[in-house]
Amino acid sequence: MKRIITVILSVLLIMSVSGCESEKKPELKDDIHIFYTSDVHCGLSDNMGFAKLKALVDDDKKEHPYVALVDCGDYLQGGTIGSISKGEQIIHIMNAMNYDVVTIGNHEFDYGMDRLGELMKLAEFEVVACNVEYSGAKTNVFENTPGFVIKDFDGTKVAFIGVLTPESLTSSTPAYFMENDEFVYDFGSGNGGLDLAERVQKTVDEARKQGAHYVVALTHLGTGVTYEPFDAVTLIRNTNGIDAVLDGHAHAEIIGETYQNKDGKDVVLSSVGTKMKNVGELFIGKDGTIETTLISEYDREDEDIKKTIAEEEEHLNQLLNIKVAHTDFDLSITDEADIRISRTREIGLGDLAADAWRTYLGTDIVIVNGGAIRKTIKAGDITYQNVIDVMPFMNSLSSCYATGQQILDSLEFCSRFTEKIHSFDGSAVGEFGGFLQVSGMKYTIDTSIPSSVVVDSDNMFVEITGERRVKDVQVLENGEYVPIDPNKTYTLGGPDYVLAHMGDGNNLFKDCQFIIEAGPTDSDVFAGYLREIGNVDARYAQPEGRITIE
């Protein structure tokens, strides 16, 4: 085969870490080759892409008898093709790719539990998830989902177990996992990671009992302190019997590292990044050694997969032209002179978007950075394409607990460039992509007061040293606006770009406790809201008066 391989790191395990080193394994005619992907996020044609992956796997099958293709989660969401079809087109393409086994990422839940159940039934590959427990009275989506499957390679048995991140309960939409406002799904979030390890250990032990000679964990946990104590390394250290962990969630690129399990034996850990930047390949040698590689390029594409993707994209284009809602007036990001005002002034489209997000998130307040609203919607039928044009970045929505003071500081930071006028000589004045459109709140900017916001060399918020220009900040409570309380904790929603990732330098919320860290995309939620209302209310024809400029 002709491959351009970025780096190869070989990790040798002379014997399986099952604790049964004396057990003789069947003799293999050749190495076992396991190709793995993760966090594809609808990036079917990005980087390596599916067409090159399919060619790579098929070419490998011509030379070697023992080949499998697996995925570690987050394939259904992250692009228009996933959002518009609610994952169905992705499943069709993965079926055509002949995936063998996959597990579930937190973003597989973004279209709701019922939809996930429908998609798993459409899948022609095995779905595994070992750490799910259900205590409800309705339908358990995972009722028929095994914790592991065993693939038999001419007598040598490899078990693939699936491990979901317990953070799915909050990184997706909590309500999806509830019945009567109580959580009925549990992924092992208790006891500082030990509950998760216990469930995984039971699965590993059962796989070994059923004759597995090797155990490969397909995990969607992540690595690093951000993901502790549910990270892949902690799982390795708290279990035994796993030979290799193929991980996702953190979008990390790990060619191959070894960590000791609780018995002091080495376990291989690898992760491929995101959007098909790499494809992983795990080798189980005839002598029991294990190697992992990352592959970033291949010199051939599979024409059938290219055609399949093209057909699905054509179907997508047809879906993009489907009517979502109707508006009798323009929802504009510009003024009458075609000067962009979405980054300096309240706009009706900003009010509509913020209300849509707040309806979905159920938070006290929602903020929308003006730079996230990119295009006017003309009067007439609103299509999916219009929605994507308005919100092309497909940022995930987040929600967190924030104090009134944090919200006040954020408003001050994001209003520091605002001026009394918004245009001069045909050009916009005072623009800032972080300017905040809002829902559940209103405020006034006094432009006669110079901004006293201090930023660092990277334009990140540092402090406010003088008089504030933002005043009369009020929060909607029980249908009435009341003054914001700096000492009170509010629920705040917005794009993860701002809340979690400090977009535009707005770092006020990075240390907040998150309710939803990375939920559905902004455009998907906006489209769903428009479908529900059908016709855009006339109150959005003009700004509602949530932001006053003095």
For residue 12, the domain's CATH number is: 3.60.21.10
pLDDT at 423: 87
Does 385 lie in the same domain as 473? yes
pLDDT for residue 319 is more than 90: no
Examine residue 22 and state whether it is found in any structural domain, yes or no: no
- Tell me the pLDDT tens digit for each residue of 470-498: 999 999 999 999 999 999 999 999 999 89
pLDDT for residue 14 is more than 50: no
Indicate the pLDDT class of residue 170, thresholds 50, 70 and 90: low
pLDDT at 171: 65
- Tell me the pLDDT tens digit for each residue of 493-520: 999 989 988 888 999 999 999 999 888 8
Residue-number span of the structural domain to which 145 is assigned: 3-17+27-316
Kindly report the CATH number assigned to the domain that includes residue 482: 3.90.780.10
Q: Which helix (H) or strand (E) holds 481?
A: strand 480-483
- On the CB side of 417, CA atoms within 13 Å amount to 20
Does 231 lie in the same domain as 295? yes
451: which DSSP letter? P
- Measure CA 195 to chain center: 24
- Tell me the pLDDT tens digit for each residue of 134-158: 999 999 999 999 999 999 999 999 9
Does 338 lie in the same domain as 306? no
Between 332 and 23, the higher pLDDT residue? 332
Examine residue 165 and state whether it is found in any structural domain, yes or no: yes
| Coarse DSSP helix, strand, coil percentages of the chain, rounded to the nearest 5 percent | 30, 30, 40
Q: Which of 18-32, 137-151, 209-223, 336-350 has the lowest mean pLDDT?
A: 18-32
Indicate the pLDDT class of residue 277, thresholds 50, 70 and 90: very high
Question: What is the count of structural domains for the chain?
Answer: 2
Angstrom distance (rounded) from CA 377 to CA 173: 28
Task: For residue 110, give the nearest of 542, 521, 442 by alpha carbon.
Answer: 521
pLDDT at 175: 74
Does 330 lie in the same domain as 257? no
Between the alpha carbon of residue 417 and those of residues 371, 412, 451, the distances in Å are: 14, 10, 8
Angstrom distance (rounded) from CA 419 to CA 248: 45
Q: Where are the alpha helices (DSSP H) in 338-462?
A: 348-361, 384-390, 404-414
pLDDT for residue 104 is more than 90: yes
pLDDT for residue 15 is more than 70: no
Phi, psi (deg, nearest 5) at residue 245: -115, 120
Q: Which helix (H) or strand (E) holds 35?
A: strand 32-37
Does 267 lie in the same domain as 140? yes
Does 168 lie in the same domain as 305? yes
pLDDT at 23: 57
Q: Is 391 left (phi over 0), alpha (psi -120 to 50) or beta?
A: beta
- Tell me the pLDDT tens digit for each residue of 35-51: 999 999 999 999 999 99
Does 382 lie in the same domain as 245? no
Does 66 lie in the same domain as 8? yes
pLDDT for residue 172 is more than 80: no
Between 162 and 110, the higher pLDDT residue? 162
pLDDT at 18: 38
- For 370-396, give one letter per residue: b (16+ CB within 10 A) or e: bbbbebbbeeeebbbbbbbebbeebbb
Between 490 and 84, the higher pLDDT residue? 490
Q: Domain end: 252, 285, 316, which one? A: 316
- What average pLDDT does this structure show over 231-258? 96
Q: Which of 92-106, 401-415, 445-459 has the lowest mean pLDDT?
A: 445-459
pLDDT at 4: 42
Percent of residues, the chain, with pLDDT higher than 90: 77
Does 176 lie in the same domain as 139? yes
Average pLDDT, the chain: 92
Angstrom distance (rounded) from CA 113 to CA 115: 5
Q: Domain end: 294, 316, 338, which one? A: 316
**Residues contacting 209, CB < 8 A, separation 6+:** none
Q: Which helix (H) or strand (E) holds 455?
A: strand 453-455
